[in-house]
């Protein structure tokens, strides 16, 4: 099976030849090419080369056409702070609540950083065709304000000025749909809808249901490709019915019991997860094998499961040898049918 | 004048009615309720902070840690308490005991929610602190030395920032400074061994855990 066939089979809740693996070493491509992270992300061709080299090295089931979240902050007037040993970070939040009343969504074509992402996705699609999925990503309208306003001012806005909150959701939704569909047009087969604030760890589920879930449903329906809702390590179980209701076909499992998540999702929405990237830094081979086996045992049976990390980004500090062990272990231990009907 | 600090362990504090009532008022965003509970308690504002606000914030933090509440609850509860204290105390906090200062900083990040939450808890418990805001390693070490800080509270959102705590620890050790480091933030929650790797003395999974951490460190000093 190709990676695409493997993903499509598991997403239809059937067992492919083996458990699919979505590996997200978004920064490791820089190391592959001997570049700094800042230099790596400065040109689309770097990311294309990095992704293709890693596809060859690990043989996983996707290429990642998304660079980093700070680019979306840039589109709203923010800046990116690069560092040598980790993901680019968004600088000070660029907006204030008072700007929301007249705020308009930025145009994708006016944003050099976003154009670079589209350029990379076009090239990746040309390179891999439909053999493996090219993945795009957007930050949800409900979570983007953390970068636009800062988390505190965002929470203040929700509680103190709900009418402006509604206005911000409308503006962000317009941008999000535009950005997602630009990626689909460029070549992305699927879009990750990154919504960490959907997690009950972050936001009262009642607030998510009032503001975040309606906008998620509206935006995901307008995206011209399948979407995966990802809570970036946050637990999803308490809002799982809401996430299923968004129309997403996959959900990222965070720091929570994977078997319980799989049981709740079985036959309805595919589970993606949930290796702990922070702990992964210090795993030896035995610990890596144990983590992969544990995840497959917990969630592999019957399809509807893709092995991945829980955050959607493998930390820079995770060595390549560990990623190789993960990829080899999936091929070895994740072959269907799983012995003893595990998971 | 603060004469004692809440130990920071919710179990040590009887679930007295005012604590339960305040917890409920905070979760319900009931500002008037907070004032009414204070008035009905018969406590001075500072005693109310120590005996009611700090335990209530601790209970709320523990519930967040258990997945029963969200960070938005923790934030708004802290904000309401801060507003109340501004109103009744004018934001004044004085330390009754002669201790080296406590300082609070975010290492190399502009996302400050974690620091703000810790600030709410410290204010709620009547513990004064120096707010260093967002700083890099060198600046943090310089200020810590300048102010003779005894306990440095560091919030880190991202893994690379969390790993930088090692540089802070090493620099303070080179300067011969006896400064304890308490860390918190997502990377430390996701990897319980990380704080030892970077040389921190204590890791807190919630903002309110900073109170037992301080109590433990201060007890070790006395």
CA dist A91 and B42 (Å) reads 46
Please, what is the end-to-end C-alpha distance for chain B in angstroms?
21
Q: Give the DSSP letter of residue B10.
A: G
Chain B interface includes A233 (CB < 8 A) = yes
Residues B52, B22 contacting (CB under 8 angstroms): yes
Q: What is the pLDDT of residues A149-174, one digit of tens each?
A: 999 999 999 999 999 999 999 999 99
Q: What is the pLDDT of residues B82-118, one digit of tens each?
A: 898 888 877 565 555 678 899 999 998 877 888 989 9
Answer with the residue of higher pLDDT: A255 or A144: A144
How many inter-chain contacts (A to B, CB under 8 Å) are there? 82
- Stretch B57-81: mean pLDDT: 92
Query: Which distant-in-sequence residues (6+ apart) come within 8 Å of A159 by Cβ?
Result: B29, B76
Which of A152, A162, A279 is the best substitution to test chain B (most B C-beta atoms within 10 A)?
A: A152
CA dist B56 and B15 (Å) reads 9
Q: Within the 294-333 window of chain A, which residues sit less than 8 Å (CB to CB) from chain B?
A: 315-317
Which of B63, B110, B134, B187 is the best substitution to test chain A (most A C-beta atoms within 10 A)?
A: B110
- Class of the CATH domain delimited by A3-341: alpha beta
Q: Which domains, and CATH codes, for chain B?
A: 10-89 (1.10.1240.10), 102-221 (3.40.50.280)
The model's pTM: 0.91
Q: What is the pLDDT of residues B146-168, one digit of tens each?
A: 999 999 999 998 899 999 999 99
Q: What is the pLDDT of residues A46-86, one digit of tens each?
A: 999 999 999 999 999 999 999 999 999 999 999 999 999 99
CA dist A186 and A201 (Å) reads 34
What residues does B151 pair with on adjacent strands?
B102, B180
Q: Write out chain B residues lying below 8 Å of A152, CB-based.
A: 75, 112-113, 116
CA-based nearest distance A274→chain B, Å? 12
- pLDDT attached to residue B94: 59
pLDDT band, residue A339 (cuts 50/70/90)? confident
**CA nearest to B29, candidates A130, A206, A144, A258:** A206
Calculate the CA A251 to chain-centre distance.
10
- ipTM, 2 decimals? 0.91
Phi/psi of residue A274, nearest 5 degrees: -130, 55
Residues A228, B95 contacting (CB under 8 angstroms): no
Answer with the residue of higher pLDDT: B218 or B166: B166
CA-based nearest distance A321→chain B, Å? 20
Chain B interface includes A90 (CB < 8 A) = yes
- pLDDT attached to residue B8: 47
Q: Write out chain A residues lying below 8 Å of B161, CB-based.
A: 86
B158 with A317: Cβ contact below 8 A: no
pLDDT band, residue A110 (cuts 50/70/90)? very high
- Stretch A235-256: mean pLDDT: 96
Q: What is the pLDDT of residues A207-237, one digit of tens each?
A: 999 999 999 999 999 999 999 999 999 999 9
CA dist A138 and A147 (Å) reads 13
- pLDDT attached to residue B108: 85
Mean of all residue pLDDT scores within chain A: 96
Q: What is the dihedral of CA A284, A286, A291, A297, to 10 degrees?
A: 170
Q: Find the residue in B nearest to A205 (Cα).
A: B70
CA-based nearest distance A268→chain B, Å? 24
B190 with A317: Cβ contact below 8 A: no
Chain B interface includes A264 (CB < 8 A) = no
- Stretch B199-214: mean pLDDT: 93
Q: Find the residue in A nearest to B117 (Cα).
A: A152
Scored b (16 or more CB within 10 A) or e, B200-218 reads bbbbbebbbbbbbbbbebb
- pLDDT attached to residue B6: 44
- pLDDT attached to residue B17: 79
- pLDDT attached to residue B205: 92
Task: State both tokens at A123.
Answer: 């090239």
> How, if at all, do strands A270-275 and A250-252 pair?
parallel
- pLDDT attached to residue B112: 80
B72 with A86: Cβ contact below 8 A: no
Task: Reply yes or no on whether the pLDDT at A123 is more than 60.
Answer: yes
Mean of all residue pLDDT scores within chain B: 87
Please state the three-class secondary structure of chain A as a single string. CCHHHHHHHHHCCCCCCECCECCCCCCHHHHHHCCCHHHHCCCHHHHHHHHHHHHHHHCCCCEECCCCCHHHHHHCCCCEECCCCCCCEECCCCCCHHHHHHCCCCCHHHCHHHHHHHHHHHHHHHHHCCCCCEEEEEECCCCCHHHHHCHHHHHHHHHHCHHHHHHHHHHHHHHHHHHHHHHHHHCCCEEEEECHHHCCCCCCHHHHHHHHHHHHHHHHHHCCCCEEEECCCCCCHHHHHHHHHCCCCEEECCCCCHHHHHHHHCCCCEEEEEECHHHHCCCCHHHHHHHHHHHHHHHCCCCCEEEEECCCCCCCCCCHHHHHHHHHHHHHHCECCCHHHCC
Q: What is the dihedral of CA A194, A198, A199, A203, to 10 degrees?
A: 130
- pLDDT attached to residue A331: 97
Q: What is the pLDDT of residues B1-54, one digit of tens each?
A: 223 344 444 444 444 578 999 999 999 999 999 999 999 999 888 888 888 998
């Amino acid at each position: 099976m190709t990676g695409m066939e493997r993903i499509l089979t598991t997403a239809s809740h059937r067992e492919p030849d083996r458990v699919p693996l979505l590996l997200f070493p978004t920064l490791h491509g820089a190391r592959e090419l001997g570049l700094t992270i800042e230099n790596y992300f400065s040109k689309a061709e770097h990311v294309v080369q990095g992704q293709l080299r890693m596809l060859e090295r690990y043989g996983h089931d996707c290429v990642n056409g998304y660079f980093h979240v700070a680019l979306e902050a840039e589109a709203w007037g923010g800046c990116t702070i690069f560092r040598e040993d980790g993901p680019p970070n968004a600088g000070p939040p660029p907006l204030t609540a008072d700007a929301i009343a007249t705020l308009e969504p930025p145009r994708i074509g006016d944003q050099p950083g976003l154009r670079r992402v589209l350029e990379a996705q076009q090239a990746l699609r040309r390179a891999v065709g439909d053999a493996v999925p090219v993945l795009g990503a957007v930050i949800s309208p409900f979570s983007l304000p953390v970068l636009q306003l800062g988390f505190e001012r965002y929470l203040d806005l929700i509680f103190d000025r709900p009418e402006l909150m509604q206005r911000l959701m409308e503006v962000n939704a317009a941008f999000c749909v535009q950005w997602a569909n630009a990626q689909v047009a460029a070549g992305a087969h699927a879009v990750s809808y990154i919504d960490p604030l959907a997690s009950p760890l972050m936001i009262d589920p009642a607030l998510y249901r009032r503001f975040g879930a309606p906008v998620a449903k509206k935006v995901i329906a307008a995206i011209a490709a399948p979407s995966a809702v990802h809570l970036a390590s946050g637990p999803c179980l308490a809002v799982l019915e809401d996430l299923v209701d968004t129309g997403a076909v996959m959900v990222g499992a965070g720091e929570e019991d994977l078997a319980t998540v799989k049981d709740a999702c079985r036959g309805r929405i595919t589970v993606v997860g949930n290796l702990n990237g922070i702990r992964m830094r210090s795993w030896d081979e035995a610990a890596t094998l144990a983590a992969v086996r544990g995840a497959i045992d917990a969630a592999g049976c019957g399809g509807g499961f893709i092995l991945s990390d829980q955050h959607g980004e493998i930390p820079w500090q995770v060595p390549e040898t560990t990623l190789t062990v993960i990829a080899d272990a999936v091929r070895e231990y994740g072959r269907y049918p799983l012995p003893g009907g595990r998971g | 004048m603060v004469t004692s600090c809440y130990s920071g362990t919710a179990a040590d504090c009887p679930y007295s009615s005012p604590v339960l009532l305040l917890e409920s008022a905070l979760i319900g965003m009931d500002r008037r309720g907070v004032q009414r509970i204070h008035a009905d308690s018969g406590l001075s504002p500072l005693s109310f902070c120590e005996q009611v606000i700090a335990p209530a914030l601790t209970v709320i933090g523990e519930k967040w840690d258990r997945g029963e509440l969200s960070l938005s609850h923790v934030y708004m509860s802290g904000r309401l308490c801060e507003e109340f204290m501004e109103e009744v105390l004018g934001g004044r906090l004085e330390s009754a005991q002669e201790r080296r200062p406590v300082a609070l900083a975010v290492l190399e990040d502009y996302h400050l929610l974690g620091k703000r939450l810790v600030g709410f808890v410290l204010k709620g418990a009547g513990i004064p602190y120096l707010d260093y805001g967002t700083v890099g390693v060198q600046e943090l070490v310089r200020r810590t030395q300048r102010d003779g800080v005894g306990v440095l509270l560091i919030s880190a959102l991202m893994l690379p920032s969390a790993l930088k705590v090692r540089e802070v620890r090493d620099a303070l050790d080179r300067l011969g400074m006896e400064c304890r480091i308490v860390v918190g933030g997502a990377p430390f929650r996701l990897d319980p061994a990380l704080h030892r790797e970077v040389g921190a003395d204590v890791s807190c999974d919630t903002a309110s855990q900073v109170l037992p951490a301080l109590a433990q460190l201060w007890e070790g000093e006395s």
